[in-house]
Structure 1
Amino acid sequence: MEHAVEGLPGGLRGYQILATVAHRDLPNQQAIGVQLAIDRTALTCQIDALAEAGLVERIPDPADRRARKVVVTAKGAGTLPRFARRVAEAEAELLSGLPLYEAEAFRDLVGRLAAFKGFKSESSQP
């Protein structure tokens, strides 16, 4: 997967953040961190790198001017499909040895695990 996102600031985490910002309307950085189980400090550095590359930007949240919302830029929206395709190809290669029903079951289980509210990322482990 790291090879698939080579050249994207932040590597795989950068890809996850860019895809989340592009596909979900989250109100602020904190919500992105909760969604992806990334601690605040690491998330800020990742978003800074994506913003410096012109892929995302922070704007005032229309609902709360004190908060900053992270949005995808036109450049980010144009860049994301290329990396999404590369990630999908890497995933297909990784799962190519499994029968289709097992690959689908694996994707489903990983998705459910990632969505599990009790999940703790490596960065949040003591």
Structure 2
Amino acid sequence: MRGFQLLSTVVHRDPANQQALGAHLGIDRTVLTYLIDDLVEALLVERVPAPSDRRARKIIATPHGKERLKELENKVREAEAELLVGLNVEQSAQLAHLVSELSTSIHRAQPGMNPCEEMDALG
């Protein structure tokens, strides 16, 4: 899950450097390093010098990483459609909005906490 989140953030948000990526995802530096190492090894991302500071590293998706993200996003869409089959379009949008609001609220209250894990803990 964290790999998907990282890859999605790199592609869709284009953080300036590795530190900004970690801050956005709320991932500790040491954990982030291991996660990036795994994605580099899988040829999904690469580290390049950050344009704003050559000492810092920017994480970019490889062509393979971008293609893999598209595949994963399609699987997520299919799973969402299956899960929400009993709801109309308006209800689906309302549910997505409420879940997003809850996740954002959790992130604001505890920036280092993974919102998915916190929501699991609520259950």
Task: Confirm or deny: 8 A CA contact 1:37 1:119 kept in the other structure.
Answer: no
Q: Deviations for 1:59-118, whole angstroms, at most 9, x for unmatched residues?
A: 001110111000001111121111110011112222223333222111112223444451
Gaps in structure 2 of 5+ consecutive residues = 119-123
The residue identity in structure 2 corresponding to 1:35 is: H
Worse-matched range after superposition: 78-87 or 105-114: 105-114
TM-score of the superposition, structure 1-length normalised?
Answer: 0.78
Gaps in structure 1 of 5+ consecutive residues = 1-11
Question: Which residue of structure 2 aligns with residue 6 of structure 1?
Answer: none
Question: Which residue of structure 2 aligns with residue 110 of structure 1?
Answer: 99
Question: Which residue of structure 2 aligns with residue 28 of structure 1?
Answer: 17
Cα separation, 1, equivalents of 2:84 and 2:109: 23
SS of 1:43's equivalent?
Answer: helix
Cα separation, 1, equivalents of 2:44 and 2:70: 13
SS of 2:54's equivalent?
Answer: strand
SS of 1:27's equivalent?
Answer: coil
Cα separation, 1, equivalents of 2:43 and 2:109: 31
How many residue pairs are counted as aligned between the two chains? 114
Q: For residues 67-106 of structure 1, what are the structure 2 equivalents within 5 Å?
A: 67-106=56-95
How much has 1:16 moved relative to structure 2? 0.9
Larger RCO: 1 or 2 (CA < 8 Å, sep 6+): 1
Task: Confirm or deny: 8 A CA contact 1:113 1:119 kept in the other structure.
Answer: no
Cα separation, 2, equivalents of 1:100 and 1:91: 12
Question: Which residue of structure 1 aligns with residue 41 of structure 2?
Answer: 52
Cα separation, 2, equivalents of 1:111 and 1:28: 25
Question: Which residue of structure 2 aligns with residue 7 of structure 1?
Answer: none
Cα separation, 2, equivalents of 1:41 and 1:91: 32
Q: Deviations for 1:37-66, whole angstroms, at most 9, x for unmatched residues?
A: 222222222111111000000100111011
> Which one has the bigger helix percentage?
2
